[in-house]
Amino acid sequence: MTSTRLAEAQLGGRAIRRVVFTEEEVQRRVWELGAEISEAYTIEDRLLVLGLLKGSFVFLADLVRRIALPLHVDFLVASSYGKGKVSSGDVRLLYDPESSLEGRAVLLVEDIVDSGTTLRKLLPRLEARGSSSLVVCTLLHKPTDGDGHRPRFVGFDAPNEFLVGYGLDHAEDFRHLPYIASL
């Protein structure tokens, strides 16, 4: 890591411990996920890519440019972390998508699935809206996922560490890093 990148990774006395996935590894995997998703759907599916903010925004922006199908994008905002490093278990829906899910293939894009709490709370709410399918794509998946739910599309299996970068944050810091690191 260059000294400039290292300086970017030190904020408020917090510093990254190590780079887990480099910028090049992340970009290559996003390309591959875009191809996998493109093969899994057709134009008739009327694909709606639903990003879970804030963490997924960098990943989602790169991913949708790699999907070779017409698609729509919308967002939802849920919170379960606050300023901590462990999920509170209390998932609050702060913004609900405006797009109709009725009869559409919905791809829910997450930055990381770790405890599984957010998905356990959100998926039933989304499933009740009549989509033709509801599939999860996540950049990172931790084997500690509480209910064993493995998203259909997974970028990387992640170590059991607190990760930042490429949209993932700690108290809103570190999202800007182009790689994924352990804090």
Per-residue pLDDT at 3: 42
Which whole number is the average pLDDT over 102-129? 90
**Domain-embedded: residue 86:** no
How much is the pLDDT for 157?
Answer: 95
Of the two residues 144 and 35, the one the predictor is more confident about is 35
Give the count of domains, the chain.
Answer: 1
pLDDT range class, residue 7, cuts 50, 70, 90: very low
In a domain? residue 35: yes
For residue range 76-113, list pLDDT tens digits in order: 988 765 555 555 456 666 667 778 999 999 999 999 99
Max Cα–Cα distance, the chain, nearest Å: 51
CB 150 within 8 A of CB 138: no
Classify residue 169: in a domain, yes or no: yes
- In this predicted structure, the answer to whether residue 4 has a pLDDT above a threshold of 60 is no
* Tokens describing residue 35: 């191809």
CATH assignment at residue 158: 3.40.50.2020
- Catalytic residue ranges: 114
Per-residue pLDDT of 16-68, as tens digits, reads 889 999 999 999 999 999 999 999 999 999 999 999 999 999 999 999 999 99
pLDDT at 181 over 90: yes
Mean pLDDT, the chain, as a whole number? Answer: 86
Q: In which band, very low, low, confident or very high, does the pLDDT at 120 lie, cut at 50, 70 and 90?
A: confident
116 lies in some domain: yes
Cβ neighbors of 158 (< 8 A, separation 6 or more) are 20, 112, 114, 140, 141, 142, 180
Range of the domain at 155: 3-81+91-182
Note the pTM of the prediction, 2 decimals: 0.85
Nearest to 104 by CA among 74, 64, 63: 74
